[in-house]
C-alpha cells in the first residue's frame, strides 16, 4: 500500500498545520511526514495488520482525505 500524504487534504504542506496529521496512523507509526518525503509505503502483508489495530482502537485509522476536485 502506498500512501501519498502530499495528496491528503489535511497535509501540512496544504494547510500549514503540522498538528493535522497527529491522529493518523502514518504519524503514529512512522512520524509526521515532512515536505520532502510525502510518500509512505506499507507492505501489503502489514496493511491488514494496521487495519485490525485501527479497528480495535489500538492505533488511529488512516486519515488520508483526497481533496475534492472542482467541477
How does pLDDT run across 17-62, given as a tens digit for each residue?
Answer: 767 777 788 877 777 766 666 677 778 888 888 888 889 988 888 7
**Cβ atoms of 29 and 66 closer than 8 Å:** no
Query: d(Cα 71, Cα 60) in Å, to the nearest integer?
Result: 32
Residue 48 falls inside a structural domain = yes
Q: How confident is the model at residue 67 (pLDDT cuts 50, 70, 90)?
A: low
Q: List the grid coordinates of 43.
A: 507492505
Residue 31 falls inside a structural domain = yes
pTM: 0.54
Q: What is the pLDDT, as a whole number, of residue 56?
A: 92
Residue 65 falls inside a structural domain = no
Domain limits for position 21: 2-55
Residue 62 falls inside a structural domain = no
Q: What is the pLDDT, as a whole number, of residue 4?
A: 81
Amino acid at each position: 500500500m502506498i500512501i501519498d500524504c502530499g495528496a491528503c487534504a489535511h497535509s501540512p504542506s496544504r494547510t500549514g498545520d503540522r498538528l493535522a496529521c497527529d491522529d493518523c496512523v502514518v504519524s503514529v507509526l512512522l512520524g509526521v511526514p515532512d515536505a520532502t518525503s510525502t510518500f509512505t509505503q506499507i507492505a501489503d502483508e502489514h496493511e491488514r495488520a494496521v487495519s485490525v489495530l485501527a479497528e480495535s482502537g489500538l492505533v488511529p485509522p488512516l486519515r488520508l482525505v483526497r481533496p475534492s476536485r472542482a467541477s
